[in-house]
Chain A
Amino acid sequence: MDPQNMQNMRSPLARAIGLGSAKEGVGAWWAERVSAVALLPLTLWFTASIIAHTCSDYATLIVWLRTPLAAILMMLLLIALFYHTALGLQVVIEDYVHSATKFAAVIAVRLGCCALATAGVVAILRIALSG
């Protein structure tokens, strides 16, 4: 932060107002909370399932992932997880990156999360619908 901008002759009030209020921001905040609430049961279910399948071999794992409940919950987990991750990482980038790379980084994070979520959902569908 450099409030004492050498070439900046704006008044302190003009600098504090900046470009004005964006008049939006609740949406992202609310979405992060809703996805967090969704993730509470989903991640706990996932952790419990993984623990229960500690010594399972590949075949047992596939049988489990083929059950409709496991498939649906896994897909919901991936969607909620990557939505929450995208929002959270965007906030982190906005906090620490203040140059133009901020926009590139935020776009990369959002698109990356979309791609990963899609890849994961397709993988689950392949397991669940094959055979």
Chain B
Amino acid sequence: MIIRSSDQVPRTSLFKRFPIPRNFGVTRESRIGRGRTWPAPRGATRIRTFEIYRYDPDSGENPRFEAFEVDLDDCGPMVLDALIWIKNKVDSTLTFRRSCREGICGSCAMNIDGTNWLACTRFISDLATPATIYPLANLRIIKDLVPDLTHLFAQYTAIEPWLKSKTPEPERERLQSPKERSKVDGYYECILCFCCTSGCPSHWWNGDRFFGPAVLLQAWRWLTDSRDEGKEERLDNLEDPFRLYRCHTILNCTRTCPKGLNPGKAIAEIKKMMIERRS
């Protein structure tokens, strides 16, 4: 009932999804059909069924939902291990992003059992039966579980995430006390997996203009960095009813961050700085 950290898997819920029609507001090309079931290999004892969103851009068909029975004795403990097992042993066309397999690159972000997380740090034993795997929510899908992150990275570029300096470069380092450096803690660790942005309802409805929690967290990372001299332009750039103020403190972002960061708090700090500069 009381969640202490974001890696706690939601166990009890009244609803697994909001009580709205399954295809509510879904455009024709995004409707999900029912696909085939891939049975487990013979002799497998510990089996877990994974229902995975599939989309093949070359087939001309709509996305579909396929069920894979995974032999848990033959694959590692994480969801990514199950996906790799499926790709190796069952269907090699299953497509997904992955790289570090240790929760630091952010490639394997996807929607697992209704919440966004990294596949490589989610235990299979924590999943429901059957487990449902969707791509990150509200993104255009290139293939299977691979979303198009172009717009999100463009929004990241728009906040100019680099050190802005007006005074001439120092001879050696730009000095920063340990206390000043600690202000950046909790924000520099973001791996840009976009689990938070993809889980934000405000970004679902206004994602073309609302920057979203990931980008705003990085905006705060630069606002709070004592070496940065561009606070005025950064705040001017952010002060917009859509770019910043579509955030209504829903806090799905903080709940879902796989690195335990707090985008909601960062956005609240930005709003506080906005008030402080005009009062």
Q: What residues of chain A have their CB less than 8 Å away from a CB belonging to chain B?
A: 1-4, 11-13, 15-18, 21-26, 28-30, 91, 94-96
A18 touches B241 (CB 8 A): no
Most chain A CB atoms below 10 A, which of B138, B242, B275: B242
| Cβ-defined partner of B209 (8 Å) among A18, A23, A24, A26 | A18
The answer to whether B157 and A13 have CB atoms under 8 Å apart is yes
From the candidates B138, B151, B241, B275, name the one contacting A22 in the complex (CB within 8 A).
B241
Q: How far is the CB of B243 from chain A (nearest CB, A)?
A: 6
- When distances are taken between beta carbons in the complex, the residues of chain B under 8 Å from A16 are 151, 154-155, 157-158
CA distance A30 to B274 in the complex (A): 10
Across the interface, which residues of B come within 8 angstroms of A95, CB to CB?
Answer: 202, 205-206, 246
CB of B240 within 8 Å of the partner chain? yes
Closest 10 CB pairs of A and B: A12-B154, A16-B154, A21-B240, A25-B241, A16-B155, A22-B240, A3-B151, A16-B158, A25-B245, A26-B274
Across the interface, A12 reaches (CB within 8 A) one of B138, B153, B275, namely B153
Q: Decide if B243 touches A4 in the complex (CB within 8 Å).
A: no
A94 CA to B236 CA, complexed, in Å: 21
A12 contacts across to B, CB distance below 8 A: 150-151, 153-154
Residue of B205, B243, B248 near A1 (CB, 8 A) is B205
Given contacts A12-B153, A13-B158, A16-B158, contact A94 B207 (CB under 8 A): no
Of A3, A11, A13, A25, which one neighbours B207 at CB under 8 angstroms? A3
A3 to B138: give the CA distance in the assembly, Å.
11
Q: Is there an interface contact between A23 and B236, defined as CB atoms closer than 8 Å?
A: yes
* Complex Cα gap A23–B140 (Å): 30
Q: Which of A15, A26, A28, A91 contacts B154 (CB 8 A)?
A: A15
Which of A11, A12, A23, A29 has the most C-beta atoms of chain B within 10 angstroms of its own C-beta?
A: A12
Q: 7 other contacts beyond A1-B138, A4-B148, A29-B274, with CB at 8 A cut-off? A: A13-B154, A15-B154, A21-B239, A22-B240, A25-B245, A94-B242, A95-B206
The answer on a CB contact under 8 Å between B208 and A1 is: yes
B148 → chain A, closest Cβ, in Å?
8
Q: Pick the contact of B238 from A21, A29, A91 — CB < 8 Å?
A: A21
21 examples of A-B residue contacts, CB within 8 angstroms: A1-B138, A1-B204, A3-B208, A4-B148, A12-B150, A12-B151, A12-B154, A13-B158, A15-B154, A16-B154, A16-B155, A18-B208, A22-B241, A23-B240, A24-B240, A25-B241, A25-B245, A29-B274, A30-B275, A94-B241, A95-B202
Interchain CB contact under 8 A, B155 and A23: no
Of A15, A21, A94, the contact of B243 (CB 8 Å cutoff): A21
Does residue B237 face the partner (Cβ distance < 8 Å to A)? yes
